[in-house]
Amino acid sequence: MTRGQQKAALLGAALGLLLSGGYLVARRIAARVQPDIINWQRAERIAHRIAARNPDSVLPAQARTALLEDYQALVRLSHDQIIPFIQLSTSSNTHEVEVLDRPLWVQRNLGTVQRLLQPLEDVYLDSVGTNSSTLFRLAHGSMQLTLSAQMGIVLGFLSRNVLGQFDMPFLAPPTTEESTNSEPTSRIYFVEPNIRRLQQRLEIPPDAFRLWIALHETTHAIQFQVAPWLAGYLGSLIESYVESFRELLRESQHPLRAMLLPGAEVKDDREQLGGLMGLLATPEQREMLVRVQGVMSLVEGYSNYIMDELGEQLIDGFPAMRKRLEERKRGSLERALMRLLGFDLKLAQYRL
């Protein structure tokens, strides 16, 4: 055997070993991949890493308890001012208040998203069936890794920007049988590390800033309390959006593509959306999102109106405070990110 032949043989043997080793590693990785669309533990770890990267991101339970009474008083004051302003005869103050830090905000909202996506997870598992090929499991693992990272990054990013949040009834955990006969309790969250950071950066009096946020979120709570159909309507829109993915998965021969690029599954001649959004949403899904955004912009706009009108009456130096906040919004990284994603109204309730 010539030297050239020896080199070729050695190279072939090395390549064979490399391919064999790679195949064994791939099989081992594929065997560990869970069938879920999103690895919720991984998403939570990523979100928490982003949420808690600064020392002031976490508030001890004692500090949150000490602030709770102040926020409860602000919500009561807001409620008592809003009711006569909008000329309601009566509305019970059943608003449950909670002071959160960033990791706690992630925890509350991760559970909400998981509940929303559970029906989709179930249909996806039925679609893929018992497909256990190494190639499919690797492709599924890549999709799961991507979606889990995206979920964690978005939740982590929002946890650092949300000031207050009204936990909408249709997103809340299912009520127990004992509580179904009682009047529903709305939940209002205040993310204290974000409130404190922005208040100090803009040099706004802390009590005035907290009242301003309380006015906004309490208005949301009253909106859904006096118009119970609103929660049902929004809930039905979101359920329809999730159901559209379920239909794609049922009909598609390529469940992985249907999950990642639903727009690519559309086979008819209807006008398609252009660019990235054309792949990330079908025309029907885009229409559903526009309807959700339309309702949320109305809800949010009305809350902003109440907040500004009552803010003028209740907060000293309100015009100057409002001007600083408007300047902050115009340069908001959150707004730029939402616009980039194509959802500049998305999650409107989270920003003021």
Identify the three-state secondary structure at position 295. helix
- Range of lowest pLDDT (122-126, 135-139, 262-266, 315-319): 262-266
Give the tens place of pLDDT for each residue, 239-255: 887 777 777 666 655 44
| Dihedral, CA of residue 138, residue 143, residue 149 and residue 154, to nearest 10 | 180
CA distance 102 to 58: 6
Confidence class for position 331, pLDDT limits 50, 70, 90: low
More confident residue, 295 or 28: 295
Beta strands in 107-200 (DSSP E): 164-167, 186-191
DSSP per position, 67-112: HHHHHHHHHHHHHHHHHHHTT-S-----EEEEEE-HHHHHHHHHHH
CA distance 152 to 45: 7
Confidence class for position 128, pLDDT limits 50, 70, 90: low
Nearest to 314 by CA among 28, 66, 74: 74
| Average model confidence (pLDDT) across the chain | 75
- Paired tokens of 145: 């890794």
Confidence class for position 196, pLDDT limits 50, 70, 90: very high
Predicted pLDDT at 252: 56
CA distance 262 to 276: 11
Number of H helices, E strands in the chain: 13, 3
Nearby residues of 159 by Cβ (< 8 Å), 6 or more positions away: 47, 50, 51, 102, 103, 105, 106, 109, 191
More confident residue, 95 or 258: 95
More confident residue, 157 or 242: 157
